[in-house]
């Protein structure tokens, strides 16, 4: 079966659509661009994402990628199919059950359609934020219905491959429940923690450390965009949030009891903290495997040009691969700590080499 | 007033106590060590944190640092004061109101005592995890009572200075409410989000991205240690958790209404997301100032030795200071993205230099 993609139509040239187009252009696929907003098409074209689609030309298209908000996917699919636009169709919306159901209701041809969702994004939006490598190494969920033809599945798999992503075939309902747990509900929880900081005192903010920075980082995302995502996956997200709210209310009750001197109330709290440790430990590490036991080597660095270059130069000299790096903020002082995650057997080599060269390795 | 510290006694040689001792030893302060666990004292001594305290010698001590769990601070203070151990006293527990109240109840001499709390820690514990630079550039809260003598305040300020931390004078109650918002409640919220992952499907975990990793990072902390911290600050933490739980329950209600087709329910949700954006924006950035508008330059890197050294070498060559760095994980592929945070005016310089040298800067 020839699943080669010669020409792909991208409908919706926002962040995701334009990034797909840019990735395909790097692989010399011909890309046609469409968007209700002519300015967005023009910008995407100027970025090298492809050329403007001229539907009246009736040019043959191997795959149409529908990159519009979840609520509009099915209508767009129907319109494109009525025109006989492409041999196969997919969409890239972040929820999957609702668009598929609606497409079935509208009488779309489900044999030519495989819904999908690349797990990639940025805090910025629009074609200007697009990147050809946005999907490199990221999971890309595929949710084919039983009606989907092998040729349609092959075309969408080829798209995922050309974008450098990892295809994950999953039932649409399972997908939606999964992203509720690992993406949508954590976003709302981060917002609720960050909301407390909105009316916190300056004193409280002055005592903020790395922990609360990490917990609330994603709370900076665009509220309008997130309303669309959450609305499209409302019931699964609500279910997770109800469970989180329940746990937090119980933790508060336990703390109130502890404040009243009831020592046994600590058990409930420890149980929650232990479940948190267990859940945290299940998140896969880099490269998709289980979280590896890296050792963190901490190095004191000055906050001026050249320090990090010299530090990584040492790592290079002794052949140590740095798996991850984190710079610890040092409020008020021009000093920081670089935390280098390395393989356990590399830690002593690196520590010794850094000591020898006069670095402060506590 | 001579606030020089010649001899300091550290009672409790865990992570914080031993780190204080190591910092003082680096400044040539004489440090005496005590702990109910003889093994902990021995280990601290072997690490170069000081020598074992011999109370029967009656050696004059300028300051006693009480580094024991919050519930034992006041008893320890009373015992030390009965012996006339030191000229001034402080403690370093993570809650402040309760130990001070209890010290007053026990009839401790409050003129010689200034409670304090360094905002620093690690996920590891014990003297073996101690570091002389643990407090470098970190806030260190001081909570003097009205009874505190100037000499006692000066001694504790000198301690903070010798440890390289930033003193922040704050009322004990305000301190406890502040850390409830910026540290204790976020920890429990992270645990509750992470707890959902404990029984999540493999599919869900396979779709986990950077967002949920950040939100749940601190949930990996030791449950026993955290029970002690939360118990000592029970009411303020309960208050914050009740507010977070309430917001999440309301968000769930809004989502249930949206699922039923009530479009107006989205307003409540957007309101919460907007408050989250506002709160997130108030967290001070590096160096204690307001969060600066750094620009993120993204660079595609291979996951092998030498790449980061070459990357930072380029930054160095063009005189660009990297304010923060983050390596994005690329599950399944030996490729990653380094996100370099730089000053806005340095971004174009760096991007051009990297392009010129053949780096993939999307």
Listing DSSP states for B280-314 in one string gives: HHTS--GGGSSPP--EEEEEEEESSTTHHHHHHHH
Provide the CATH topology of domain A175-281. 6-phosphogluconate dehydrogenase C-terminal fold (1.10.3660)
Mean pLDDT on B291-314: 76
What band does B215 get if pLDDT is binned at 50, 70 and 90? very high
Which of A23, A187, A212, A256 is the best residue to mutate to test the B interface, defined by the most B CB atoms within 10 Å of its own CB? Answer: A212
| Separation in Å, CA of B56 to nearest CA in chain A | 34
Residue B286 has pLDDT above 60, yes or no: no
**Interval A227-261: pLDDT, tens:** 988 999 999 999 999 999 999 999 999 999 999 98
Beta bridge partners of B328: B337
CB contact under 8 A, B227 and A273: yes
| Nearest CB partner across the interface for B244, out of A239, A248, A303 | A248
First to last CA, chain B: 60
Considering only A125-139, A261-275, B344-358, which range has the smallest mean pLDDT?
A125-139
In chain A, CATH 1.10.3660.10 covers 175-281
Give me the interface pTM, i.e. the ipTM.
Answer: 0.77
Q: Are B350 and B318 in contact (CB under 8 A)?
A: yes
CB contact under 8 A, A306 and B316: yes
Provide the pLDDT for residue B287.
Answer: 43
Residue A195 has pLDDT above 60, yes or no: yes
What is the per-residue burial (b if ≥16 Cβ within 10 Å, else e) of B266-298?
bebbebbbebbbebbebbbbbbeeeeeebbbbb
B329 touching chain A per CB within 8 A: yes
CATH code for the part of the protein at A7-170: 3.40.50.720
Higher pLDDT, A335 or B83: B83
What band does A123 get if pLDDT is binned at 50, 70 and 90? low
Residue A302 has pLDDT above 80, yes or no: no
In chain B, CATH 3.30.70.260 covers 295-356
Residue A286 has pLDDT above 50, yes or no: no
Provide the pLDDT for residue A52.
Answer: 97
Percent of chain B with pLDDT over 70: 92
In chain B, CATH 3.40.50.720 covers 7-170
CB contact under 8 A, B223 and A270: yes
The structure tokens 């990628």 sit at: A65
Residue B46 has pLDDT above 60, yes or no: yes
Interface of B with A in 339-358 (CB under 8 A): none
Provide the pLDDT for residue A222.
Answer: 85
Higher pLDDT, B334 or A66: A66
In chain B, CATH 1.10.3660.10 covers 175-263
Residue B7 has pLDDT above 90, yes or no: yes
Q: What is the largest CA-CA distance in chain B?
A: 78
The structure tokens 């980082």 sit at: A217
Mean pLDDT on B147-164: 97
**Interval A159-178: pLDDT, tens:** 999 999 989 999 999 999 99
Average pLDDT of chain A is 89
B195 touching chain A per CB within 8 A: yes
Provide the pLDDT for residue A338.
Answer: 81
- Rounded to 5 degrees, φ, ψ at B320 are -100, 130
What band does B124 get if pLDDT is binned at 50, 70 and 90? low
Provide the pLDDT for residue B359.
Answer: 85
Q: Which class does domain B175-263 fall in? A: mainly alpha
| Separation in Å, CA of A217 to nearest CA in chain B | 7
Residue A183 has pLDDT above 90, yes or no: yes
Q: Are A120 and A138 in contact (CB under 8 A)?
A: yes
Residue ranges in chain A assigned as alpha helix (H): 15-26, 38-46, 73-82, 97-106, 150-162, 172-179, 185-198, 202-206, 210-216, 223-232, 234-259, 266-281, 307-317, 344-356
- CA dist., res. B253 & res. A327, Å (int): 39
Residue B330 has pLDDT above 80, yes or no: no
Mean pLDDT on B140-145: 96
What band does A304 get if pLDDT is binned at 50, 70 and 90? low
Mean pLDDT on B147-176: 96
What residues of B are in contact with residue A261 (Cβ under 8 Å)? none
What band does B111 get if pLDDT is binned at 50, 70 and 90? very high
CATH superfamily of B295-356: ACT domain (3.30.70.260)
């Amino acid at each position: 079966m020839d699943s080669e993609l010669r020409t792909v139509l991208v409908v919706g040239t926002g962040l995701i659509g334009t990034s797909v187009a840019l990735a395909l252009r790097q692989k010399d696929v011909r890309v046609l661009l469409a968007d209700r907003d002519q300015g967005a098409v023009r910008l995407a074209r100027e970025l090298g994402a492809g050329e403007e689609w001229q539907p009246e030309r009736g040019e043959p298209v191997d795959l149409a990628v529908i990159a519009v908000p979840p609520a509009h996917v099915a209508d767009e699919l129907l319109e494109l199919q009525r025109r006989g636009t492409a041999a196969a169709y997919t969409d890239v919306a972040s929820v999957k059950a609702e668009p598929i159901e609606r497409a079935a209701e509208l009488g779309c041809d489900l044999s030519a359609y495989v819904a999908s969702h690349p797990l990639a994004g940025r805090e910025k939006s629009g074609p200007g934020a697009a990147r050809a490598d946005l999907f490199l190494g990221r999971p890309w969920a595929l949710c084919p219905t039983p009606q989907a033809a092998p040729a349609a599945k092959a075309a969408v798999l080829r798209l995922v491959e050309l974008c450098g992503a990892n295809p994950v075939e999953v039932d649409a309902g399972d997908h939606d429940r999964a992203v509720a747990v690992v993406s949508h509900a954590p976003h709302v929880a981060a917002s609720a923690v960050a909301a407390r900081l909105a009316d916190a005192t300056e004193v409280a903010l002055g005592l903020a450390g790395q922990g609360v920075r990490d917990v609330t980082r994603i709370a900076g995302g665009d509220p309008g965009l997130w309303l669309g995502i959450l609305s499209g996956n409302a019931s699964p997200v609500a279910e997770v949030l109800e469970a989180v709210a329940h746990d937090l209310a119980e933790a508060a009750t336990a703390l109130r009891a502890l404040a009243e001197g009831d020592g046994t109330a600590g058990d409930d709290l420890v149980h929650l903290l232990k479940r948190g440790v267990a859940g945290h430990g299940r998140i896969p590490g880099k490269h998709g495997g289980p979280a590896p036991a890296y050792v963190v080597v901490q190095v004191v660095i000055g906050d001026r040009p050249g320090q990090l270059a010299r530090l990584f130069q040492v790592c290079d000299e002794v052949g140590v691969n740095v798996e991850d790096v984190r710079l610890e903020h040092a409020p008020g002082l021009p000093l920081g700590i670089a935390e280098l995650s390395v393989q356990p057997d590399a830690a002593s080599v690196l520590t010794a080499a850094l000591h020898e060269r006069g670095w402060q390795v506590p």
